[in-house]
Amino acid sequence: MGMTRTDELVRALDAADVRAASRTADELVAAGAADEALDALAERAASSRAALELLVETLDASGVVHRFAGSMLLDRDAIDDVAQDTLISVVQSIASYRGGGRFTSWVHPIVRRRVADHLRRQRETTTLDEELLPAARMSSMIATRATVQQALADLPELYRLPVVLRDVHGLTYAQVAERTGRTLGTVKSQVSRGRAMVAGMLTDDGQPA
């Protein structure tokens, strides 16, 4: 039997060939086989930083988290923010993943918890402008984790600017796109990637999840 695309992904991961692994993961998502790519990546994400980063990128690209969140929320910005919160939670809790089923089945309850968090914050902060809620969450993180400022500073400029504009200054995705001259889709992707990188840095620094 010939080698499958999933086998090729696993081989690239084992060989630490990040570029080949990323390319193969993208091809699996495009072919409608995102679950297979995610399962393979998740098995290695707890012990491999490269696999974890690629897992987050592939999970975001698959649209799974957005679909889960979209089944419970109507507001597009709320769905985007819950999706990004979920990706950060995946990074912070990946060590608890034990396999035995689809990785997306493990992710689904995380999405539900982040949706519940979002709705609770809405009830508790009804006097706040909804567009400021993501910034408030990041501000709280800054207050409780001294290393997050350094993590933001260590982000590549490509990701740092949209993350800071969105999560520190509270701009909407559309405003960030206008400010940076990037497309809306590009901004959302870069904020997602930047947030995941910050969460990964905090985890590496031994900060509590």
Arithmetic mean of pLDDT, 176-180: 89
Q: Which of 31-45, 162-176, 194-208 has the highest mean pLDDT?
A: 31-45
Summarize pLDDT for 105-150 with one digit per residue, the tens.
Answer: 999 999 999 988 888 877 665 444 444 445 545 444 444 444 567 7
What mean pLDDT is reported for the chain? 81
* pLDDT (0 to 100) of residue 184: 87
d(CA 66, CA 130): 19
Arithmetic mean of pLDDT, 143-161: 72
Q: What pLDDT band is residue 160 in, cutting at 50, 70 and 90?
A: confident
pLDDT at 154 over 60: yes
| Number of Cα atoms under 13 Å in the Cβ half of residue 74 | 0
Residue 132 or residue 170, greater confidence: 170
Residue 136 or residue 168, greater confidence: 168
Q: What pLDDT band is residue 40 in, cutting at 50, 70 and 90?
A: very high
Residue 35 or residue 168, greater confidence: 35
Summarize pLDDT for 41-74 with one digit per residue, the tens.
Answer: 999 998 998 899 999 999 998 999 999 988 888 7
Q: Is the pTM of this model over 0.75?
A: no
Arithmetic mean of pLDDT, 77-102: 89
Q: What pLDDT band is residue 31 in, cutting at 50, 70 and 90?
A: very high
Q: What is the DSSP string of the chain?
A: -PPPHHHHHHHHHHTT-HHHHHHHHHHHHHTT-HHHHHHHHHHHHTT-HHHHHHHHHHHHHHTHHHHHHHTT---HHHHHHHHHHHHHHHHHHGGG---SS-HHHHHHHHHHHHHHHHHHHHHHTTTS-GGGHHHHHHHHHHHH-TTHHHHHHHS-HHHHHHHIIIIIS---HHHHHHHHT--HHHHHHHHHHHHHHHHHHHHHTT---
Q: What is the percentage of the chain residues whose pLDDT exceeds 70?
A: 82
Q: What pLDDT band is residue 202 in, cutting at 50, 70 and 90?
A: low
- Is 6 exposed, middle or buried, given 0-12, 13-18 or 19+ CB atoms closer than 10 A? middle
